[in-house]
C-alpha cells in the first residue's frame, strides 16, 4: 500500500511512464501505467504560509468546516492530506472523511485532480500568475461508531489538525508556517499545547507554528471543563485539562490529584529533564467520544471512563495511561527512532524500534504508575502477573518473532482480529516491557544494586534538558547507552529476545526480580476490577475464552478464543454465543461453577449449548484444571528487586 523512498526517487527519475519488459509473444496484456511524480520533501523554507481557519461549531452534525489560504503557489503545486501519522505509526490519515473540496483564486474556481496512485495527493491546476489559493472543505467526523471512532459529542470534542489541513508537497513539515484559528461553540472551553495569540466570541487564533508542531498539538474542548496545576511552583507548567460529559465527573478527590502530581515529580526524578515549554494532559472523561491514548511532544490525549474518579478502585487497570503518554514526551517524541522519523506526513514510516518507543514506554508507564501511587504495589504486581501469564501461553510466539510484530500497526491499524493469540498483535508493547524488566533486573544483579535501568533512562532520554529538538536514535545507540550503564553483550541480549521464534517468553526479569508466576482460582484485584467494569469475563487462562457480557440481552458472546486451548479444541469460535452450561441457562457464574466442578481427572467434560449464526451446537470442553488466574508470589531465593523498581523515588 505504501511506497518506499527509493521507489519515489526512481519514479522521479523515470518520468511519466513505466513499461514492463515483456516478450513479444506474451500471453496477456503488457502493463503500462501512468506515474505522476510528486516533489519529495526538502529541508528548505516554504516561501509562503498556510492560514488555516477551522469552524467546529456544527456539533450536532459533527461536521468541521475548513477554510485554508495557501500562498506561494506555483503551476505544479501538489497538496497533500496527511497520511502517515505520528503516534499511530501507520498510514491512517482519514482521507475517506473529507468532502466538498473547492479551490479558488480571487473567487475564480481552480481545477484540481487527485493522483490516482497516491490518493492523498491533489494536483492544483493553477494558471500562470496564480500565487495564492483558497481551499474550502468539510471534515466529516464520524457520526456513529460504525463509521469510525467518535471525536465530537454534544459536550466534548477533539480537534486533530492532521485531519483538517492540506499542505504543499516538496518541503519538510517543520519548514511550513501555519497560522491556525479555531471557532468553537461560544460557551466552551479548550486546551492545547498551542499558545493563544488572540481570542474572541468563541474564536481562538493561535500563535504561528510550523506544520509539524501544529499537527503535534491537538485541541480538546468542551462544555464542562476544569484545569488543574500538576506541578505547583514548578519551573515549567504541567496541566491536567479535563473535559467531561457531565460536570460532576470533574470532581477529582484531593488524594487522587496528589497521585497525579506525584507522577510529574517521579517522572522528573527518573529522567532528570523535560522537553516542553509547558505540558498539557488533554483528559476526556466521556463515553460519548473515543477513549484515546495518543502521545505528543508537549501534550497527550488521554481518554478515560467518565467515572474515573468515583470508580477509582475498579479502574486501576487503566491508570497507567497518563504515565505511559507522559513518558512518550521523552521516549518517542524527543528521542525518536531514526527510521520512524519522517520529514513530512506522506513519507512512509518504519516501525522497527517500537519495542523501545512503545515497549520501554509501557515499562516506565507501569513503573511510574506504581511510584506515583496511581496504582498500589499489589496492583502493579497484578499487572505484571497478567502480562507474564499472557506471554507464557501465547501460541503465536511459536511462529512469529517479536520483531515482526513491530509491523502490526501498518498490517492492521487496530481492526478486530479473529485469532489474535495466533496472529499476535502489537506485542512490542507488553512483551517489550518484559524484556526491559529483564534488562533492568540484570543491570541490578550485575552491578550489585548500584545501577539500574533508571540510569539508562536518565542518560538516554534526559539529555539536553529544556530542548524540544528531536534527537533520533538507532539500535546501536540503544546498545551503546546500555553498555555505558553496565558493560554486557546487550546487542546479543536484545536480538535474541527480539528475533527468536518458539522460545519461552522472556520471564527472567520476574525470577531475578524475586517473584514467580503462580495460578490460583481467584482473579487478582486489578483483573477483578476490569472484569466488573468492562463486563468481560476472562477465562483465557483456564478453558481459553473471553466473554463479553456488556449487552444485557446478549450475554455469553465469545469475544476471543485462545488458539489450541480447550475451548478451541471443542470447536468454539469468536462470535459464538454460549446459551447453556451443563443444561443450565448461561450466566458467567454458572460457567465458572461448572469449570470449578469439572476439576479433577475423572470428571465428564463441560457441556455447552452454543449458538453460531443461526445454528445451534453442543460443544464439550474436556478441561479439568479448574479456574486459573495469574499472580506473583514472592520467591525469597532472589532479592525483591521488583519491589525496589516499583518503590517511589524519595524526595
Ligand atoms: Zn504509546
Distance, CA 551 to ligand 1 centroid (Å)? Answer: 30
| 108 membership: H or E segment, kind and range | strand 108-109
- What is the maximal distance between C-alpha atoms in the chain? 88
Distance, CA 496 to ligand 1 centroid (Å)? Answer: 23
DSSP codes of every residue in 125-181? -PPTT---EEEEEEEE--SSTTTS---B-SSEEEE-GGGS--EETTB-GGG-EEEEE
Distance, CA 564 to ligand 1 centroid (Å)? Answer: 30
Average pLDDT for residues 398-411, to the nearest whole number?
A: 97
Distance, CA 566 to ligand 1 centroid (Å)? Answer: 33
Helix axes 377-392, 525-534, angle to 10 degrees: 80
Distance, CA 475 to ligand 1 centroid (Å)? Answer: 19
Flag whether pLDDT at 253 surpasses 60: yes
Flag whether pLDDT at 148 surpasses 90: yes
Distance, CA 12 to ligand 1 centroid (Å)? Answer: 35
Alpha-helical runs (H) found in 49-112? none
* DSSP reduced 3-state for 31: coil
Flag whether pLDDT at 601 surpasses 90: no
Q: What is the 3-state secondary structure (H, E, C) of 359-403?
A: HHHHHHHHHHHHHHCCCCHHHHHHHHHHHHHHHHCCHHHHCCCHH
Average pLDDT for residues 562-582, to the nearest whole number?
A: 97
Average pLDDT for residues 388-395, to the nearest whole number?
A: 96
Q: How far apart are CA 169 and CA 167, in angstroms?
A: 7
DSSP codes of every residue in 542-591? TTSEEEE--STTS--EEEEE-TTSHHHHTT--TT-EEEEETTEE--HHHH
pTM of model > 0.75 = yes
Task: Give the N- to C-terminal CA distance of the chain in Å, as an integer.
Answer: 51
Distance, CA 133 to ligand 1 centroid (Å)? Answer: 38
Q: How far apart are CA 581 and CA 619, in angstroms?
A: 10
Distance, CA 295 to ligand 1 centroid (Å)? Answer: 7
Distance, CA 383 to ligand 1 centroid (Å)? Answer: 17
Pairing outcome for strands 238-244 and 279-285: parallel
**C-beta atoms surrounding 72 within 10 Å:** 13
Q: What is the pLDDT of residue 413?
A: 87
Distance, CA 20 to ligand 1 centroid (Å)? Answer: 43
Confidence at 25, pLDDT banded by 50, 70, 90: low
Distance, CA 311 to ligand 1 centroid (Å)? Answer: 24
- The model's pLDDT over 32-75, given as tens digits with 9 standing for 90+, comes to 666 668 999 999 999 999 999 999 999 999 999 999 999 999 98
Distance, CA 348 to ligand 1 centroid (Å)? Answer: 19
Flag whether pLDDT at 12 surpasses 90: no
Closest CA to 307 of 254, 248, 260, 228: 248
Distance, CA 278 to ligand 1 centroid (Å)? Answer: 20
Average pLDDT for residues 317-344, to the nearest whole number?
A: 98
Closest CA to 634 of 374, 384, 278: 384
Q: How far apart are CA 492 and CA 504, in angstroms?
A: 17
Phi, psi of 569 (to 5 degrees): -65, -25
Distance, CA 294 to ligand 1 centroid (Å)? Answer: 7
Question: Among all chains, which residue has been given the C-alpha cell 496527511?
Answer: 82
Flag whether pLDDT at 467 surpasses 70: yes
Flag whether pLDDT at 235 surpasses 80: yes
Distance, CA 359 to ligand 1 centroid (Å)? Answer: 8
Distance, CA 406 to ligand 1 centroid (Å)? Answer: 13
Torsion of CA 93, 95, 98, 103, to 10 degrees: 100
Flag whether pLDDT at 19 surpasses 90: no
Distance, CA 174 to ligand 1 centroid (Å)? Answer: 23
Q: Going by C-beta distance under 8 Å and a sequence separation of 6 or more, which residues neighbour residue 338?
A: 353, 472, 473, 474
- The model's pLDDT over 69-126, given as tens digits with 9 standing for 90+, comes to 999 999 889 999 999 999 999 999 999 999 999 999 999 999 999 998 899 999 999 9
Flag whether pLDDT at 150 surpasses 50: yes
Confidence at 11, pLDDT banded by 50, 70, 90: very low
Q: What is the pLDDT of residue 26?
A: 62
Distance, CA 361 to ligand 1 centroid (Å)? Answer: 6
Q: Which three cell numbers stand for residue 15?
A: 518520468
Q: What is the pLDDT of residue 450?
A: 98
Q: How far apart are CA 202 and CA 223, in angstroms?
A: 12
Q: What is the pLDDT of residue 76?
A: 87
Q: CA 549, 555, 558: angle at the middle one, nearest 5?
A: 75
Surrounding residues of ion ligand 1, Cβ less than 5 A = 358
Confidence at 24, pLDDT banded by 50, 70, 90: low
Distance, CA 492 to ligand 1 centroid (Å)? Answer: 25
Confidence at 201, pLDDT banded by 50, 70, 90: confident
Distance, CA 64 to ligand 1 centroid (Å)? Answer: 28
Flag whether pLDDT at 3 surpasses 50: no
Flag whether pLDDT at 499 surpasses 50: yes
Distance, CA 180 to ligand 1 centroid (Å)? Answer: 27
Confidence at 397, pLDDT banded by 50, 70, 90: very high
Q: CA 265, 267, 270: angle at the middle one, nearest 5?
A: 110
Q: Which three cell numbers stand for residue 79?
A: 497538496
Distance, CA 365 to ligand 1 centroid (Å)? Answer: 9
Distance, CA 433 to ligand 1 centroid (Å)? Answer: 12
Distance, CA 251 to ligand 1 centroid (Å)? Answer: 27
Closest CA to 137 of 189, 179, 100, 95: 100
Distance, CA 332 to ligand 1 centroid (Å)? Answer: 8
Average pLDDT for the chain: 94
DSSP codes of every residue in 196-231? EEEEETTEEEEPPEEHHHHHT--EEEESEEEEEESS
Amino acid at each position: 500500500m505504501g511506497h518506499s523512498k527509493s521507489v519515489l526517487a526512481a519514479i522521479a527519475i523515470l518520468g511519466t511512464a513505466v513499461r514492463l519488459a515483456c516478450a513479444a509473444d506474451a500471453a496477456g496484456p503488457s502493463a503500462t501505467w501512468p506515474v505522476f511524480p510528486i516533489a519529495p520533501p526538502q529541508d528548505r523554507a516554504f516561501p509562503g504560509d498556510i492560514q488555516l481557519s477551522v469552524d467546529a461549531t456544527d456539533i450536532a452534525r459533527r461536521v468541521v468546516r475548513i477554510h485554508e489560504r495557501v500562498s506561494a503557489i506555483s503551476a505544479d503545486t501538489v497538496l497533500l492530506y496527511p497520511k502517515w501519522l505520528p503516534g499511530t505509526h501507520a498510514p491512517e490519515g482519514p482521507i475517506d472523511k473529507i468532502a466538498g473540496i473547492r479551490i479558488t483564486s480571487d473567487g475564480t474556481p481552480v481545477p484540481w485532480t487527485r493522483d490516482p496512485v497516491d490518493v492523498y495527493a491533489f494536483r492544483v491546476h493553477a494558471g500562470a500568475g496564480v500565487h495564492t489559493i483558497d481551499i474550502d472543505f468539510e471534515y466529516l467526523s464520524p457520526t456513529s461508531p460504525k463509521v469510525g471512532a467518535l471525536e465530537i459529542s454534544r459536550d466534548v470534542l477533539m480537534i486533530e489538525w492532521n485531519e483538517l489541513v492540506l499542505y504543499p508537497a516538496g518541503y519538510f513539515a517543520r519548514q511550513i508556517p501555519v497560522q491556525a484559528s479555531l471557532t468553537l461553540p461560544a460557551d466552551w472551553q479548550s486546551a492545547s499545547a498551542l499558545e493563544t495569540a488572540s481570542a474572541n466570541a468563541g474564536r481562538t487564533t493561535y500563535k504561528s507554528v510550523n506544520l509539524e508542531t501544529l499537527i503535534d498539538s491537538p485541541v480538546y474542548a468542551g462544555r464542562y471543563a476544569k484545569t488543574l496545576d500538576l506541578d505547583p511552583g514548578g519551573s515549567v507548567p504541567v496541566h491536567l485539562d479535563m473535559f467531561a460529559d457531565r460536570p460532576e465527573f470533574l470532581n477529582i478527590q484531593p488524594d487522587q490529584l496528589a497521585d497525579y502530581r506525584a507522577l510529574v515529580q517521579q517522572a522528573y526524578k527518573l529522567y532528570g529533564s523535560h522537553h516542553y515549554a509547558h505540558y498539557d494532559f488533554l483528559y476526556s472523561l466521556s463515553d460519548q467520544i473515543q477513549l484515546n491514548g495518543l502521545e505528543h511532544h508537549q501534550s497527550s490525549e488521554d481518554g478515560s471512563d467518565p467515572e474515573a474518579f468515583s470508580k477509582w478502585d475498579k479502574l486501576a487497570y487503566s491508570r497507567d495511561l497518563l504515565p505511559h503518554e507522559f513518558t512518550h514526551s521523552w521516549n518517542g517524541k524527543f528521542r525518536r527512532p531514526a527510521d520512524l522519523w519522517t520529514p513530512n506526513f506522506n513519507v512512509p514510516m518504519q516501525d522497527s524500534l517500537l519495542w523501545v518507543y512503545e515497549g520501554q514506554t509501557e515499562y516506565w508507564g507501569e513503573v511510574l504508575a506504581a511510584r506515583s501511587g496511581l496504582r498500589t504495589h499489589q496492583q502493579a504486581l497484578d499487572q505484571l502477573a497478567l502480562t507474564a501469564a499472557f506471554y507464557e501461553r501465547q501460541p503465536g510466539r511459536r511462529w512469529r518473532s517479536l520483531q515482526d510484530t513491530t509491523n502490526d500497526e501498518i498490517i492492521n491499524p487496530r481492526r478486530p482480529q479473529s485469532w489474535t493469540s495466533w496472529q499476535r498483535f502489537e506485542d512490542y508493547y507488553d512483551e517489550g516491557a518484559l524484556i526491559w524488566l529483564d534488562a533492568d533486573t540484570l543491570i541490578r544483579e550485575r552491578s550489585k544494586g548500584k545501577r539500574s535501568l533508571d540510569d539508562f533512562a536518565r542518560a538516554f532520554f534526559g539529555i539536553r534538558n529544556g530542548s524540544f529538538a528531536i534527537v533520533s536514535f538507532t539500535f546501536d545507540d540503544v546498545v551503546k547507552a546500555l553498555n555505558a550503564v553496565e558493560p554486557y553483550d546487550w546487542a546479543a541480549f536484545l536480538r535474541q529476545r527480539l528475533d527468536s521464534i518458539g522460545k519461552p517468553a522472556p520471564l527472567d526479569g520476574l525470577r531475578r526480580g524475586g517473584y514467580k508466576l503462580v495460578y490460583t482460582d481467584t482473579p487478582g484485584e486489578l483483573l477483578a476490577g476490569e472484569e466488573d467494569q468492562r463486563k468481560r469475563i476472562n477465562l483465557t487462562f483456564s478453558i481459553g475464552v473471553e466473554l463479553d457480557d456488556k449487552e444485557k440481552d446478549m450475554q455469553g458472546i465469545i469475544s476471543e478464543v485462545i488458539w489450541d486451548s480447550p475451548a478451541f479444541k471443542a470447536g468454539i469460535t469468536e462470535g459464538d454465543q454460549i446459551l447453556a452450561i451443563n443444561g443450565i441457562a448461561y450466566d458467567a457464574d454458572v460457567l465458572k461453577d461448572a469449570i470449578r466442578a469439572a476439576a479433577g481427572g475423572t470428571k465428564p467434560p463441560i457441556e455447552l449449548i452454543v449458538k453460531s449464526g443461526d445454528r445451534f451446537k453442543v460443544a464439550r470442553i474436556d478441561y479439568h484444571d479448574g479456574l486459573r488466574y495469574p499472580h506473583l508470589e514472592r520467591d525469597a531465593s532472589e532479592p525483591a528487586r521488583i519491589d525496589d523498581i516499583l518503590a517511589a523515588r524519595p524526595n
